[in-house]
């Protein structure tokens, strides 16, 4: 039997639920992932797509549009009809590429102007990794090893202006050691080249690299998060290792084109939040070393915009140029 308080809360929630369900998609909903298949962002997008297909009554599919640090796929969504049928699932590199492209006066779109934030999909720690043959267990040891090499070691990123491009340049500057940048179209090909030993240093979201770490093929030497990853508690944060400028919150989240009607955004946010709370999906996300999302559009938007604001002066200080 419902208590009076429970009944009151249910009555208060009813208008919000009805409002969230006022819009219904008319056909297949596309989730654009701006990276190749196989990386963390792609894995998480497919988990959400499966659950949203079950709850929304239409097919929700993932479409990979990799390249330019995620800018190509993002631009597809920026130019899509604002009808809720085309969504973007991006990650923290959206903030860094935005700042780098703005600095180079080559930004094809603006997060603030061209996108409507919907909700966080997951928070995922970003790990700094080295090939197993590199004799380093932390950033100090890696810096000493890099300085001792006859030629600069290679570090990989998901493209010019991406998170790892920015972090690589910050580490080189603050640690005073050499590295040469090798851009990739996404995290999956970057990790494959690191596994093959063609690049010695890189970064990846924990979800898609945990198997390689546990198998010993890659060694984590730092996390960009403010706190240590629960899955790898022995790996120190970059701040603990004396590199506070490299600290960065890892996230993956949903965006719609700007000017998407409020009723559409409300329904989508409600569906994503419900999916994030769905026990099997939440458990799967946690197995990947991530934390399920589902926050409000306002909370998600504020966090992303704050991160972009923090990235802009860093990009300017490094004079990062996106060619």
Beta strand residue intervals within the chain, DSSP E = 29-33, 60-64, 86-91, 115-123, 126-131, 154-157, 180-183, 201-205, 218-223, 251-257, 291-292
Measured distance CA(304)–CA(206) in Å, rounded: 20
- 8 pLDDT higher than 90: no
Output the pTM of the full model: 0.84
Residues 6+ apart with CB under 8 A from 309: none
**pLDDT category of residue 9 using cuts at 50, 70 and 90:** very low
SS3 133: coil
At 223 the three-state DSSP class reads strand
Q: Is the pLDDT of residue 16 over 50?
A: no
State both tokens at 190.
């970057």
When pLDDT is cut at 50, 70 and 90, the band that residue 289 belongs to is: confident
Task: Specify which residues 33 forms β-bridges with.
Answer: 64
Report the chain's mean pLDDT, rounded to a whole number: 90
Q: Give residue-wise pLDDT tens across range 132-150.
A: 999 999 999 999 999 999 9
Average confidence (pLDDT) over 119-129: 95
The CA–CA distances, whole Å, from 87 to 29, 161, 168, 211, 318 equal 8, 22, 30, 29, 32
Q: What is the pLDDT of residues 208-218, one digit of tens each?
A: 888 999 999 99
Rounded Cα distance between 244 and 8, Å, is 48
pLDDT: which is higher, 185 or 61: 61
64 contact partners, CB below 8 Å, separation of at least 6 = 33, 35, 36, 37, 42, 73
What is the C-alpha separation between 185 and 286, in angstroms, rounded? Answer: 26
Residue 115 CA: distances (Å) to CA of 177, 300, 305: 38, 12, 11
Question: Distances from the Cα of 146 to the Cαs of 127, 174, 179, 180, in angstroms?
Answer: 19, 14, 7, 11
For 218, which DSSP code? E
pLDDT of residue 323: 59
**pLDDT (0 to 100) of residue 206:** 87
pLDDT of residue 4: 40
**Cβ atoms of 125 and 229 closer than 8 Å:** yes
Mean pLDDT of 3-22: 44
């Amino acid at each position: 039997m419902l208590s009076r308080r429970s009944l009151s809360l249910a009555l208060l929630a009813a208008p919000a639920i009805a409002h969230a369900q006022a819009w219904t998609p008319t056909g297949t909903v596309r989730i654009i992932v701006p990276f190749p298949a196989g990386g963390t962002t792609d894995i998480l997008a497919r988990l959400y797509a499966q659950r949203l297909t079950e709850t929304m009554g239409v097919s929700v599919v993932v479409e990979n549009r990799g390249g330019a640090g995620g800018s190509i796929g993002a631009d597809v969504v920026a130019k899509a009809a604002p009808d809720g049928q085309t969504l973007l699932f991006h990650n923290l590199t959206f903030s860094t590429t935005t700042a780098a492209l703005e600095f180079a006066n080559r930004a094809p779109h603006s997060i603030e102007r061209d996108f409507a934030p919907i909700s966080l999909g997951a928070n995922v720690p970003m790990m700094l990794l080295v090939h197993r043959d590199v004799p380093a267990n932390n950033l100090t040891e890696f810096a000493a090893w890099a300085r001792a090499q006859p030629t600069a070691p290679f570090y990989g990123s998901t493209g010019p202006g991406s998170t790892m491009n920015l972090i690589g340049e910050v580490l080189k500057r603050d640690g005073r050691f050499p590295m040469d940048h090798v851009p990739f179209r996404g995290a999956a090909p970057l990790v494959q080249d690191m596994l093959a030993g063609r690049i010695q240093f890189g970064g990846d979201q924990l979800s898609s690299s945990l198997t390689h770490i546990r198998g010993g093929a890659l060694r984590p030497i730092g996390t960009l998060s403010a706190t240590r990853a629960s899955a790898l508690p022995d790996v120190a944060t970059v701040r603990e290792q004396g590199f506070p400028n490299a600290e960065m919150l890892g996230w993956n989240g949903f965006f719609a084109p700007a000017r998407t009607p409020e009723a559409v955004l409300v329904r989508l946010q409600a569906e994503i939040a419900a999916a994030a709370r769905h026990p099997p999906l939440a458990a799967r996300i946690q197995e990947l070393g991530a934390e399920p999302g589902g926050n409000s559009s306002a909370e998600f938007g504020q966090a992303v915009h704050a991160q972009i604001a923090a990235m802009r002066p860093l990009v300017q200080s490094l004079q990062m140029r996106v060619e």
